[in-house]
Amino acid sequence: MSIDLFDINSLLSEEEQIVRNNVSRFVDENVKPIIQECFESHSFPKQLIQPIAELGLLGSSIEGYGCAGMNSISYGLICQELERGDSGVRSFVSVQSSLVMYPIFTFGSEEQKEEWLPKLAKAEAIGCFGLTESQGGSDPANMKTHAKKDGDDWVINGSKMWITNGSIADLALIWANTEDGIRGFLVETSTSGFIANEIDNKFSLRASVTSELFLDNVRVPNKNMLPEVIGLKGPLSCLTQARYGISWGAIGAAEACLDELIEYTKTRVLFDRALDENQAIQIRLADMQRRMTNAGLLSHRLGQLKDEGKMNPTQVSLAKWNNVRMALDVARDCRDMLGGSGISAEYVPIRHMLNLESVITYEGTETIHQLAVGRALTGKSAF
Protein backbone atom coordinates (compact mmCIF):
# COMPACT_ATOMS: atom_id res chain seq x y z
CA MET A 1 0.00 0.00 0.00
CA SER A 2 1.45 3.35 -1.06
CA ILE A 3 1.69 6.08 1.54
CA ASP A 4 1.68 8.69 -1.26
CA LEU A 5 -2.08 9.26 -1.05
CA PHE A 6 -1.95 12.45 -3.14
CA ASP A 7 0.13 10.74 -5.84
CA ILE A 8 2.87 13.36 -5.64
CA ASN A 9 5.04 10.95 -7.61
CA SER A 10 2.88 11.59 -10.68
CA LEU A 11 4.00 15.24 -10.61
CA LEU A 12 7.54 14.13 -11.41
CA SER A 13 8.95 14.08 -14.91
CA GLU A 14 10.25 10.84 -16.34
CA GLU A 15 13.83 11.95 -15.66
CA GLU A 16 12.99 12.87 -12.06
CA GLN A 17 11.34 9.49 -11.51
CA ILE A 18 14.41 7.72 -12.87
CA VAL A 19 16.62 9.68 -10.47
CA ARG A 20 14.35 8.83 -7.54
CA ASN A 21 14.16 5.15 -8.46
CA ASN A 22 17.93 4.84 -8.89
CA VAL A 23 18.70 6.47 -5.55
CA SER A 24 15.92 4.53 -3.83
CA ARG A 25 17.38 1.27 -5.09
CA PHE A 26 20.85 2.35 -3.97
CA VAL A 27 19.55 3.10 -0.46
CA ASP A 28 17.70 -0.21 -0.23
CA GLU A 29 20.65 -2.25 -1.44
CA ASN A 30 23.62 -0.39 0.03
CA VAL A 31 22.60 1.92 2.89
CA LYS A 32 19.87 0.13 4.81
CA PRO A 33 21.79 -3.17 5.29
CA ILE A 34 24.72 -1.45 7.04
CA ILE A 35 23.47 1.79 8.55
CA GLN A 36 22.27 0.41 11.88
CA GLU A 37 25.71 -1.02 12.61
CA CYS A 38 27.35 2.26 11.51
CA PHE A 39 25.09 4.21 13.86
CA GLU A 40 25.80 1.89 16.76
CA SER A 41 29.57 1.91 16.16
CA HIS A 42 29.69 5.71 15.61
CA SER A 43 31.29 5.28 12.18
CA PHE A 44 30.67 6.90 8.81
CA PRO A 45 30.22 4.38 5.95
CA LYS A 46 33.10 5.53 3.77
CA GLN A 47 32.52 2.60 1.43
CA LEU A 48 29.43 4.42 0.14
CA ILE A 49 31.33 7.50 -1.05
CA GLN A 50 32.51 6.16 -4.40
CA PRO A 51 29.18 4.57 -5.38
CA ILE A 52 27.44 7.85 -4.50
CA ALA A 53 29.83 9.70 -6.79
CA GLU A 54 29.34 7.16 -9.59
CA LEU A 55 25.59 7.79 -9.46
CA GLY A 56 26.25 11.49 -10.12
CA LEU A 57 24.86 12.61 -6.78
CA LEU A 58 27.68 15.01 -5.85
CA GLY A 59 27.11 18.51 -7.18
CA SER A 60 24.18 17.07 -9.11
CA SER A 61 22.65 20.48 -9.94
CA ILE A 62 25.85 21.96 -11.38
CA GLU A 63 26.24 22.24 -15.16
CA GLY A 64 29.61 21.18 -16.55
CA TYR A 65 32.86 20.36 -14.74
CA GLY A 66 31.98 16.66 -14.69
CA CYS A 67 28.69 17.24 -12.82
CA ALA A 68 25.32 15.76 -13.72
CA GLY A 69 23.41 19.00 -14.35
CA MET A 70 20.13 17.77 -12.86
CA ASN A 71 17.29 20.10 -11.93
CA SER A 72 16.42 21.18 -8.40
CA ILE A 73 13.57 18.71 -7.93
CA SER A 74 15.96 15.88 -8.78
CA TYR A 75 18.38 17.14 -6.14
CA GLY A 76 15.52 17.25 -3.64
CA LEU A 77 14.58 13.66 -4.46
CA ILE A 78 18.21 12.61 -3.99
CA CYS A 79 18.14 14.12 -0.50
CA GLN A 80 14.78 12.54 0.29
CA GLU A 81 15.87 9.05 -0.67
CA LEU A 82 19.27 9.30 1.01
CA GLU A 83 17.71 10.48 4.27
CA ARG A 84 15.25 7.61 4.08
CA GLY A 85 18.42 5.64 4.71
CA ASP A 86 20.02 7.98 7.26
CA SER A 87 20.46 11.70 7.86
CA GLY A 88 24.21 11.21 8.07
CA VAL A 89 24.43 9.95 4.49
CA ARG A 90 22.29 12.82 3.24
CA SER A 91 24.39 15.28 5.27
CA PHE A 92 27.55 14.06 3.55
CA VAL A 93 26.05 14.73 0.12
CA SER A 94 24.50 18.05 1.21
CA VAL A 95 27.83 19.41 2.43
CA GLN A 96 29.77 18.24 -0.61
CA SER A 97 27.15 19.55 -3.05
CA SER A 98 25.53 22.62 -1.49
CA LEU A 99 28.19 23.92 0.88
CA VAL A 100 31.40 23.23 -1.02
CA MET A 101 30.74 22.70 -4.73
CA TYR A 102 27.96 25.31 -4.98
CA PRO A 103 30.05 28.21 -3.60
CA ILE A 104 33.04 27.25 -5.75
CA PHE A 105 30.77 27.17 -8.81
CA THR A 106 28.97 30.40 -7.88
CA PHE A 107 31.72 32.52 -6.33
CA GLY A 108 34.95 30.89 -7.46
CA SER A 109 37.39 31.77 -10.19
CA GLU A 110 37.51 29.69 -13.35
CA GLU A 111 40.80 28.26 -12.16
CA GLN A 112 39.21 27.20 -8.85
CA LYS A 113 36.25 25.61 -10.64
CA GLU A 114 38.40 23.65 -13.05
CA GLU A 115 40.73 22.47 -10.30
CA TRP A 116 38.20 21.39 -7.70
CA LEU A 117 34.75 20.71 -9.13
CA PRO A 118 35.67 17.62 -11.19
CA LYS A 119 37.58 16.16 -8.21
CA LEU A 120 34.71 16.83 -5.82
CA ALA A 121 32.16 15.39 -8.26
CA LYS A 122 34.15 12.16 -8.55
CA ALA A 123 34.86 12.06 -4.79
CA GLU A 124 38.55 12.27 -5.55
CA ALA A 125 38.41 15.07 -2.98
CA ILE A 126 36.05 15.49 -0.03
CA GLY A 127 35.05 18.93 1.17
CA CYS A 128 33.80 20.58 4.35
CA PHE A 129 32.28 23.98 5.12
CA GLY A 130 33.78 26.01 7.95
CA LEU A 131 31.38 28.70 9.13
CA THR A 132 30.03 27.82 12.60
CA GLU A 133 32.12 28.69 15.65
CA SER A 134 31.62 27.63 19.23
CA GLN A 135 30.59 31.12 20.36
CA GLY A 136 28.63 31.92 17.20
CA GLY A 137 25.90 29.41 16.48
CA SER A 138 22.87 31.28 15.19
CA ASP A 139 24.87 34.52 15.02
CA PRO A 140 27.51 33.91 12.31
CA ALA A 141 28.43 37.59 12.29
CA ASN A 142 30.03 36.98 15.69
CA MET A 143 32.98 35.40 13.88
CA LYS A 144 36.41 35.30 15.53
CA THR A 145 38.32 33.50 12.77
CA HIS A 146 40.32 36.06 10.84
CA ALA A 147 42.58 36.23 7.81
CA LYS A 148 45.32 38.79 7.33
CA LYS A 149 47.09 39.61 4.08
CA ASP A 150 50.81 38.89 4.07
CA GLY A 151 52.36 39.64 0.70
CA ASP A 152 50.68 37.37 -1.86
CA ASP A 153 49.31 35.10 0.87
CA TRP A 154 46.64 35.10 3.54
CA VAL A 155 47.32 33.91 7.07
CA ILE A 156 44.25 32.44 8.79
CA ASN A 157 43.78 31.93 12.53
CA GLY A 158 40.73 30.68 14.37
CA SER A 159 38.53 27.64 14.94
CA LYS A 160 35.29 26.14 13.65
CA MET A 161 32.86 23.82 15.43
CA TRP A 162 30.31 21.15 14.40
CA ILE A 163 31.79 20.71 10.95
CA THR A 164 30.38 17.81 8.94
CA ASN A 165 33.04 15.86 6.99
CA GLY A 166 35.78 17.85 8.74
CA SER A 167 38.05 14.94 9.66
CA ILE A 168 37.79 13.23 6.26
CA ALA A 169 37.99 16.37 4.13
CA ASP A 170 40.75 17.18 1.66
CA LEU A 171 39.45 20.71 1.16
CA ALA A 172 37.90 23.08 3.70
CA LEU A 173 35.98 26.19 2.68
CA ILE A 174 36.82 28.49 5.57
CA TRP A 175 34.95 31.74 6.13
CA ALA A 176 37.04 34.36 7.92
CA ASN A 177 36.97 38.04 8.79
CA THR A 178 39.26 40.30 6.80
CA GLU A 179 39.74 44.06 6.76
CA ASP A 180 37.24 44.19 3.91
CA GLY A 181 34.65 41.88 5.46
CA ILE A 182 34.00 38.14 5.58
CA ARG A 183 35.67 36.19 2.78
CA GLY A 184 35.80 32.53 1.81
CA PHE A 185 39.10 30.66 1.48
CA LEU A 186 39.82 27.24 -0.03
CA VAL A 187 42.17 25.55 2.41
CA GLU A 188 43.68 22.17 1.66
CA THR A 189 43.56 20.23 4.90
CA SER A 190 47.16 19.07 4.46
CA THR A 191 48.28 22.69 4.92
CA SER A 192 50.57 23.28 7.90
CA GLY A 193 48.66 24.55 10.93
CA PHE A 194 45.32 22.99 9.94
CA ILE A 195 43.98 20.48 12.48
CA ALA A 196 40.66 18.58 12.44
CA ASN A 197 39.54 16.65 15.51
CA GLU A 198 36.49 14.41 15.28
CA ILE A 199 33.79 15.01 17.89
CA ASP A 200 32.95 11.80 19.73
CA ASN A 201 30.19 10.73 22.11
CA LYS A 202 27.33 12.06 19.99
CA PHE A 203 23.85 10.62 20.48
CA SER A 204 22.78 11.99 17.09
CA LEU A 205 24.20 11.70 13.56
CA ARG A 206 26.43 8.89 14.76
CA ALA A 207 26.90 7.66 11.18
CA SER A 208 28.29 11.06 10.21
CA VAL A 209 31.69 12.68 10.71
CA THR A 210 31.44 15.83 12.83
CA SER A 211 34.60 17.75 13.68
CA GLU A 212 36.21 20.76 15.28
CA LEU A 213 38.70 22.65 13.11
CA PHE A 214 41.70 24.63 14.30
CA LEU A 215 43.67 27.02 12.10
CA ASP A 216 47.00 28.14 13.53
CA ASN A 217 48.76 30.54 11.16
CA VAL A 218 47.44 28.62 8.15
CA ARG A 219 48.94 30.21 5.06
CA VAL A 220 47.12 30.10 1.73
CA PRO A 221 47.87 31.92 -1.53
CA ASN A 222 45.66 34.77 -2.66
CA LYS A 223 44.37 32.63 -5.54
CA ASN A 224 42.62 30.42 -2.96
CA MET A 225 40.23 33.20 -1.92
CA LEU A 226 36.77 33.11 -3.53
CA PRO A 227 36.88 36.29 -5.61
CA GLU A 228 33.19 36.87 -6.35
CA VAL A 229 31.69 37.34 -2.90
CA ILE A 230 32.25 39.36 0.23
CA GLY A 231 30.22 39.50 3.44
CA LEU A 232 27.76 37.12 5.05
CA LYS A 233 25.66 36.88 1.89
CA GLY A 234 28.23 34.34 0.66
CA PRO A 235 27.91 31.70 3.38
CA LEU A 236 24.21 32.45 3.93
CA SER A 237 23.43 31.79 0.28
CA CYS A 238 25.20 28.45 0.60
CA LEU A 239 23.06 27.61 3.63
CA THR A 240 19.94 28.44 1.62
CA GLN A 241 20.97 25.78 -0.91
CA ALA A 242 21.57 23.23 1.83
CA ARG A 243 18.32 24.02 3.65
CA TYR A 244 16.44 23.43 0.42
CA GLY A 245 17.78 19.87 0.31
CA ILE A 246 17.07 19.36 4.01
CA SER A 247 13.40 20.20 3.47
CA TRP A 248 13.21 17.21 1.14
CA GLY A 249 15.47 14.96 3.18
CA ALA A 250 13.30 15.16 6.29
CA ILE A 251 10.39 13.69 4.33
CA GLY A 252 12.50 10.61 3.62
CA ALA A 253 13.22 10.11 7.32
CA ALA A 254 9.50 10.36 8.13
CA GLU A 255 8.67 7.97 5.31
CA ALA A 256 11.07 5.34 6.66
CA CYS A 257 9.48 5.55 10.09
CA LEU A 258 5.88 5.39 8.88
CA ASP A 259 6.59 2.52 6.46
CA GLU A 260 8.01 0.41 9.23
CA LEU A 261 5.26 1.32 11.69
CA ILE A 262 2.49 0.35 9.25
CA GLU A 263 4.03 -3.08 8.82
CA TYR A 264 4.44 -3.44 12.58
CA THR A 265 0.80 -2.58 13.32
CA LYS A 266 -0.38 -5.22 10.84
CA THR A 267 1.30 -8.04 12.74
CA ARG A 268 1.32 -6.85 16.35
CA VAL A 269 -1.70 -8.40 18.11
CA LEU A 270 -3.05 -7.00 21.38
CA PHE A 271 -6.40 -7.86 22.98
CA ASP A 272 -7.09 -10.38 20.19
CA ARG A 273 -6.80 -7.93 17.32
CA ALA A 274 -4.08 -6.43 15.18
CA LEU A 275 -3.05 -2.93 16.19
CA ASP A 276 -4.07 -1.47 12.84
CA GLU A 277 -7.70 -2.43 13.51
CA ASN A 278 -7.88 0.11 16.36
CA GLN A 279 -9.31 3.58 15.86
CA ALA A 280 -6.60 5.22 17.96
CA ILE A 281 -3.89 3.67 15.79
CA GLN A 282 -5.56 4.59 12.51
CA ILE A 283 -6.14 8.18 13.63
CA ARG A 284 -2.46 8.58 14.52
CA LEU A 285 -1.35 6.99 11.22
CA ALA A 286 -3.71 9.29 9.33
CA ASP A 287 -2.36 12.35 11.09
CA MET A 288 1.20 11.39 10.12
CA GLN A 289 0.11 10.99 6.51
CA ARG A 290 -1.59 14.39 6.58
CA ARG A 291 1.57 16.10 7.75
CA MET A 292 3.80 14.19 5.33
CA THR A 293 1.54 15.03 2.38
CA ASN A 294 1.64 18.72 3.28
CA ALA A 295 5.44 18.58 3.52
CA GLY A 296 5.79 16.75 0.22
CA LEU A 297 3.65 19.26 -1.66
CA LEU A 298 5.51 22.14 0.01
CA SER A 299 8.91 20.86 -1.08
CA HIS A 300 7.72 20.07 -4.59
CA ARG A 301 6.42 23.61 -5.02
CA LEU A 302 9.68 24.95 -3.58
CA GLY A 303 11.58 22.91 -6.17
CA GLN A 304 9.47 24.37 -8.95
CA LEU A 305 10.19 27.88 -7.71
CA LYS A 306 13.90 27.10 -7.49
CA ASP A 307 14.01 25.79 -11.05
CA GLU A 308 12.16 28.91 -12.19
CA GLY A 309 14.69 31.12 -10.40
CA LYS A 310 11.99 32.48 -8.07
CA MET A 311 12.87 30.81 -4.76
CA ASN A 312 13.72 33.11 -1.87
CA PRO A 313 15.29 32.42 1.55
CA THR A 314 12.03 32.98 3.47
CA GLN A 315 10.35 30.21 1.50
CA VAL A 316 13.26 27.92 2.29
CA SER A 317 13.04 28.85 5.98
CA LEU A 318 9.35 27.97 6.08
CA ALA A 319 9.94 24.63 4.33
CA LYS A 320 12.91 23.64 6.48
CA TRP A 321 11.07 24.58 9.68
CA ASN A 322 7.82 22.86 8.69
CA ASN A 323 9.27 19.68 7.23
CA VAL A 324 11.90 18.93 9.84
CA ARG A 325 9.40 19.59 12.65
CA MET A 326 7.00 17.25 10.85
CA ALA A 327 9.63 14.52 10.52
CA LEU A 328 10.75 14.79 14.13
CA ASP A 329 7.18 14.59 15.38
CA VAL A 330 6.46 11.60 13.13
CA ALA A 331 9.62 9.80 14.25
CA ARG A 332 8.76 10.40 17.91
CA ASP A 333 5.18 9.21 17.42
CA CYS A 334 6.31 6.11 15.54
CA ARG A 335 8.77 5.36 18.31
CA ASP A 336 5.96 5.62 20.84
CA MET A 337 3.60 3.41 18.84
CA LEU A 338 6.19 0.66 18.63
CA GLY A 339 5.94 0.28 22.38
CA GLY A 340 8.98 -1.26 24.04
CA SER A 341 10.39 -2.15 20.62
CA GLY A 342 10.58 1.56 19.85
CA ILE A 343 13.78 2.02 21.82
CA SER A 344 15.54 -0.81 19.98
CA ALA A 345 17.92 -0.07 17.14
CA GLU A 346 16.32 -2.98 15.32
CA TYR A 347 13.61 -0.47 14.39
CA VAL A 348 14.42 2.73 12.54
CA PRO A 349 12.35 5.43 14.33
CA ILE A 350 14.68 5.84 17.32
CA ARG A 351 17.67 6.36 14.99
CA HIS A 352 15.82 8.82 12.77
CA MET A 353 14.42 10.58 15.84
CA LEU A 354 17.88 11.09 17.30
CA ASN A 355 19.28 12.24 13.97
CA LEU A 356 16.47 14.73 13.46
CA GLU A 357 17.27 16.34 16.81
CA SER A 358 20.41 17.58 15.04
CA VAL A 359 18.73 18.34 11.72
CA ILE A 360 16.21 20.63 13.43
CA THR A 361 19.15 22.53 14.94
CA TYR A 362 21.73 22.76 12.17
CA GLU A 363 21.41 24.99 9.10
CA GLY A 364 19.37 27.37 11.25
CA THR A 365 17.42 26.40 14.33
CA GLU A 366 13.64 26.18 14.26
CA THR A 367 13.42 29.52 16.10
CA ILE A 368 15.67 31.25 13.58
CA HIS A 369 13.46 30.12 10.71
CA GLN A 370 10.31 31.15 12.57
CA LEU A 371 11.80 34.61 13.04
CA ALA A 372 12.77 34.76 9.36
CA VAL A 373 9.15 34.09 8.41
CA GLY A 374 7.98 36.58 11.03
CA ARG A 375 10.25 39.24 9.59
CA ALA A 376 8.81 38.65 6.12
CA LEU A 377 5.27 39.03 7.47
CA THR A 378 5.88 42.16 9.57
CA GLY A 379 8.82 43.83 7.89
CA LYS A 380 10.55 44.02 11.28
CA SER A 381 13.55 42.03 12.46
CA ALA A 382 13.24 40.45 15.91
CA PHE A 383 16.60 38.72 15.86
Q: Helix count (H) and strand count (E) of the chain?
A: 12, 9
Within 13 Å of residue 140, how many CA atoms lie on the same side as its CB? 25
Q: What is the DSSP string of 159-223?
A: EEEEEETGGG-SEEEEEEEETTEEEEEEEETTSTTEEEEE----SS-TTS-EEEEEEEEEEEEGG
Element at 311 (helix H, strand E): none
From the list 215, 242, 216, 237, the residue with the least C-alpha distance to 226 is 237
Q: Write down the catalytic residue from 15, 37, 363, 366.
A: 363
Residue 363 designated active-site = yes
Whether 184 and 229 have beta carbons less than 8 Å apart is answered as: yes
Q: At 128, which helix (H) or strand (E)?
A: strand 127-130
- Contacts with 110 (C-beta within 8 Å, 6 or more apart), sequence order: none
Please report the sign of the dihedral spanned by the C-alpha atoms of residue 28, residue 34, residue 40, residue 41: negative
How many whole angstroms separate alpha carbon 243 and alpha carbon 376?
Answer: 18
Residue 42: strand, helix, or coil:
coil
Residues acting as catalytic residues: 363
